[in-house]
Amino acid sequence: MTHQPRPLTDYEKYIRTEELLALQKPPEALVCHDELQFQTVHQVAELWMKLCEHELLAVAVALRDGECARAVRLLARVRQIEGLLGDQLSLLDTMAPRDYMIIRGVLGRGSGQESPGFKRMLQLPSEIWPSFEALLARRGVTLRTIYEAPDAQAELFNVAEGLVDYDQWLQAWRARHLLLVYRIIGTGTPSLKGKPSDLLAEGAKHRFFPPLWEVRDELFAEWTRAHPHGADHGYHG
Ligand code: HEM
């Protein structure tokens, strides 16, 4: 008698659990116990980054159409995703360096730098910024005017702060990832691409929307000069 497979439930059909759960190595193929965790965390990260791209493309469209409230809502979602991406790295803190070394043996020359999702997250800010700049021009305001009087331009201020969040949370991800790298392979070990992990620290300093940071410097310099003690000491003096 042939064994009939049970029909898939609607949940399984919609979520496509069969295909999804076939994307990880089966237990007998794992090179060590921790490989399933390693593969799962990376696969989940790719899914979150795919969703990030989807949302960020919609942010660019919303800004082009002048729909600030929608852009703000989508940017809030993106910030949540960036948080999840960072939080889930802590799972890999539970992996011993020895286990990573075993996994490295089957990684080939693979590196997170080749992540398609992360590459898009690095590119997308340059696709969003022109839409935001064009919107500011259409409304006849500058970053200075927005930051000088945030309540007078609340919509645009909220969009600008959503973009600052993107920058801040990507930096936070990079810093968190760096801590994981130090913990697993040390601070000086050459990566699979032949660079010391310390070089990642350089990337962690990168900001995607420089004008949004410069306007803070600019305004604080002025406000500090105008402050009764500003001329003597500088803001932190
Ligand atoms: C055991 C855990 C991990 C170790 C030891 C590790 C190690 C490294 C190293 C050494 C680099 C430098 C580039 C290179 O490979 O040459 C790197 C880059 C990268 N890794 Fe990881 N990684 C780990 C987990 C993860 C996870 C879970 C993700 C999730 C997406 C990830 C994503 C990335 C990305 C996107 C880069 C490029 C970073 C940048 O340009 O700032 N890594 N990783």
Query: Domain residues of the chain, as ranges?
Result: 32-102+115-209
CATH architecture label of 32-102+115-209: Up-down Bundle (1.20)
33-86, pLDDT tens digit by residue? 999 999 999 999 999 999 999 999 999 999 999 999 999 999 999 999 999 999
Sequence-distant (≥ 6) Cβ neighbours of residue 210 within 8 angstroms: none
Measure 191 CA to ligand 1 centroid, in angstroms.
9
Check residue 227 and give its pLDDT.
81
Which residue minimizes the CA distance to atom 17 of ligand 1? 112
| CA 115 to ligand 1: nearest atom | 35
Give the confidence band of 235 by pLDDT, cuts at 50, 70, 90. low
Q: Quote the ligand 1 centre to 111 CA distance (angstroms).
A: 6
Closest C-alpha to ligand 1, atom 43: 112
Nearest to 99 by CA among 44, 48, 36, 154: 36
- Rounded to an integer, the average pLDDT of 142-171 is 97
Q: Output the residue whose Cα is nearest ligand 1's atom 7.
A: 181
Q: From atom 37 of ligand 1, which residue's Cα is the shortest distance away?
A: 113
